[in-house]
Amino acid sequence: MAVADYDEIGVGYARHRLPDPRLAAQFERALGDASTVLNVGAGTGSYESVDRTVVAVEPSAVMAAQRPAGAAPVVRAVVEDLPFAGGTFDAATMFLTLHHWADWRVGLREVRRVAGKLVIFTFEPGAHAHCWVVRDYLPAAGRTRSALAPHLDEVVRALPGARVEVVPVPHDCTDGFLWAYWRRPEQYLDPDVRRGISAIAQLPPHEVEPGMARLAADLESGRWHDEHADLLDLDEVDGGFRLVVVG
Ligand SMILES: C[S@@+](CC[C@H](N)C(=O)[O-])C[C@H]1O[C@@H](n2cnc3c(N)ncnc32)[C@H](O)[C@@H]1O
DSSP string, 1-57: --HHHHHHHTTTHHHHBPPPHHHHHHHHHHHTT--EEEEET-TT-TT--SSSEEEEE
**Residue 222: pLDDT band with limits 50, 70, 90:** very high
Distance 232 CA to ligand 1 centre (A): 32
Residues with CB under 6 A from ligand 1: 1, 3, 6, 17, 40-44, 46, 57-60, 63, 78-80, 95-97, 100-102, 198
For residue range 167-219, list pLDDT tens digits in order: 999 999 999 999 999 999 999 999 999 999 989 999 999 999 999 999 999 99
User: What ligand 1 atom has the least distance to the C-alpha of 58?
Assistant: 22
Q: Give the chain's domain count.
A: 1
Distance CA 121, CA 4 (A): 22
**Rounded average pLDDT over 34-42:** 98
Show the domain range for 161.
3-246
- Concatenated DSSP letters for 167-182? --EETT-SB-SGGGGT
Find out whether 239 and 170 touch, Cβ atoms under 8 Å. Answer: no
Question: Is the pTM for the entire model greater than 0.85?
Answer: yes
**Rounded average pLDDT over 12-32:** 91
User: What ligand 1 atom has the least distance to the C-alpha of 146?
Assistant: 1
For residue range 76-128, list pLDDT tens digits in order: 999 999 999 999 999 999 999 999 999 999 999 999 999 999 999 999 988 99
Distance CA 2, CA 99 (A): 11
Distance 179 CA to ligand 1 centre (A): 18
Please name the residues in contact with 4: beta carbons below 8 A apart, sequence gap of 6 or more. Answer: none
**Rounded average pLDDT over 32-56:** 96
Candidate of 26, 97, 179 to mutate for ligand 1, largest count of ligand atoms within 8 Å of Cβ: 97
Distance 41 CA to ligand 1 centre (A): 3
Q: Give me the CATH number covering residue 163.
A: 3.40.50.150
Q: What is the DSSP letter of 204?
A: -
Distance CA 241, CA 247 (A): 20
pLDDT of residue 111: 98
Distance 79 CA to ligand 1 centre (A): 9
For residue range 125-158, list pLDDT tens digits in order: 889 999 999 999 999 999 887 788 899 999 999 9
Q: For atom 25 of ligand 1, which residue has the closest CA?
A: 60
